[in-house]
Amino acid sequence: MIRKFLSQNFSISLRSLGLFRIGIGTLLLVDLISRLIYGYDLISPQGLIPVDQALQALKDKSILSLYLISAHDFYFYFLIVLSFISYTCYLAGYRTRFFGVLSLALLFSIQNRNPFVLHGGDILLRMFLLLSLFLPMQSYSWSSGWKAENGRFFSFATLALFVQIGLMYFFSALYKSGPEWLDGSALFYAFQNDWISNSLGQGLSQFPTLLKILTYATVALEFLVLPLIFVAFKLRPLRWALFISLFLFHLGIFITMDIGTFPFVCMLGSFLFYPGASSKTVSDFHLGFANAASGVILILVIVSNLLFFIQPEGFKPLKLALQNLGVYQKWSMFSPSPAKSNISFELITNRLYYPDAKKNYPSHHWQKFFMQIARPHNSTVLNLFGTYLCKNTKPSELRIFLHETSLTPSRNEKTIPLYSASCEATDAI
């Protein structure tokens, strides 16, 4: 009875798994290229976090990264080229398992090179790649002659995939405990945030009633995904509704907000809910390595979400252990409330003047780093950025200011000095 329930509710079509592999491979390549073009100094050997200073700068983070083995440029570019080859082979389905494992190691390494800039899309993409290692991904691949395979497949890995997606939405809703989510004004403030909202999103702030409806709909959808996963697969219309709702939800995020690859990774995940045609399901209930590993990952994912939400005493060592295992996750965007002020950074030296740092550092990963700078008591990232600017622009003095403008009707403004240093002294250090 339980086996029938699981195989009926948590199976995935083999065609969808093939397309899922192609989607993951494409996003891996996009992520790699965007890091090189728009965020090179965030990962380079002598960039924002020089390799020889990484152990100190990342003392509370995972340092399991191939990029931290050597500071030589040749080694760095070797890893970049190897990543491009591995991601491409995985996308094409050539020796999928081997290049999947290699791609996971390389992805984990480049993410741990600078964990200050990780976002939800990075974490979810890593989990998708990890769980894909235990699934049949041959459809539309080099090894199958680019042909599609018929049928559906169930294993603990497919169960873990669905639960991972459900937990992401469920805990995202749990974290949204601020009054703005209760009174319906959350998206009004989110769409006025200059750092993440584009012109279309900012235009929507002129329709507060619509945004109030969308605010409540967002929380409702996120809460419902996890329980619906356990019932929707027996009811095809409900499964169609879940697939369409999630896809349109993230499509809306993509066209109104600039938050990196997160909406694309989530849209890829939504295709796993695509009902497809009814066909024979192949179920794997054998306690082999794939199912055992998938079961352990599933347990760790549940534990990680619970620990980050509860944050019990003595949580830091557990957090670091989960980071080293690559399964840590916290889905807290716009939580407990969206920011109710716009911020900008002013960089002043005797050689350059950036009245708005966002225009000079346009990538989403750089924007994540500036969000870290804006947090109180975050001297580590401020010192890293200050030293980086001193080294690259070589001014005699550097000052960084945070300008904050309230989004409430009062529109209060304030300027906060964040950093001031003599670059000659910094260079001497």
Residue range 122-160, pLDDT digits in tens: 999 999 999 999 999 988 888 777 787 888 889 999 999
Q: Give the number of domains in the chain.
A: 2
- Would you say residue 1 has pLDDT above 70? no
> Is pTM, for the whole model, over 0.95?
no
Residues 222 and 350 in one domain: no
Residues 284 and 351 in one domain: no
Is 333 domain-assigned?
A: no
Confidence of residue 214 (pLDDT cuts 50, 70, 90): very high
Upstream peptide bond of 336 is cis (omega within 30 degrees of 0): yes
Is 234 domain-assigned?
A: yes
Q: Exposure pattern of 233-260 as b/e (b: 16+ CB <10 Å)?
A: beeeeebeebbebbbebbebbbebbebb
pLDDT tens digits for range 35-49:
999 889 999 999 999
CA distances from residue 192 to 145, 186, 208, 368 in whole angstroms, order as listed: 49, 10, 12, 17
Tell which residue, 143, 123, 161, 163, has the closest CA to residue 333: 123
- Tell me the range of 258-262, 266-270, 284-288, 383-387 where mean pLDDT is highest: 266-270
Cβ atoms 141, 94 nearer than 8 A:
yes
Residues 275 and 371 in one domain: no
49: Cβ contacts below 8 Å, ≥ 6 apart: 57, 58, 113, 114, 384
Residue ending a domain, among 294, 325, 356, is: 325
Residues 262 and 357 in one domain: no
* Token digits of residue 388: 């980086």
168 forms bridges with which residues in the sheet? none
- Would you say residue 102 has pLDDT above 50? yes
Q: What percent of the chain has pLDDT over 70?
A: 93
Is 331 domain-assigned?
A: no
Residues 305 and 157 in one domain: yes
Is 394 domain-assigned?
A: yes
Residues 284 and 178 in one domain: yes
Confidence of residue 357 (pLDDT cuts 50, 70, 90): low
Is 212 domain-assigned?
A: yes
DSSP, collapsed to helix, strand or coil, labels residue 417 as strand
Q: If you average pLDDT over residues 107-126, what whole number do you get?
A: 95
Residue with token string 């992520």:
31
Residues 306 and 398 in one domain: no
Is 330 domain-assigned?
A: no
CA distances from residue 186 to 180, 219, 315, 408 in whole angstroms, order as listed: 5, 11, 30, 12
- Would you say residue 179 has pLDDT above 90? yes
Residues 300 and 389 in one domain: no
DSSP, collapsed to helix, strand or coil, labels residue 348 as strand
Residues 223 and 259 in one domain: yes
> What domain range includes position 58?
2-325
Residue ending a domain, among 325, 353, 371, is: 325
Residue ending a domain, among 292, 325, 358, is: 325
Is residue 401 within a helix (H) or strand (E), and if so which, with residue range? Answer: strand 397-406
Is 334 domain-assigned?
A: no
Residues 312 and 394 in one domain: no
Mean pLDDT of the chain: 88
Is 332 domain-assigned?
A: no
DSSP state of 141: S
DSSP, collapsed to helix, strand or coil, labels residue 403 as strand
Residues 178 and 309 in one domain: yes
- Tell me the range of 4-8, 266-270, 388-392 where mean pLDDT is highest: 266-270
Cβ atoms 45, 166 nearer than 8 A:
no
Note the pLDDT of residue 294.
94
Residues 303 and 381 in one domain: no
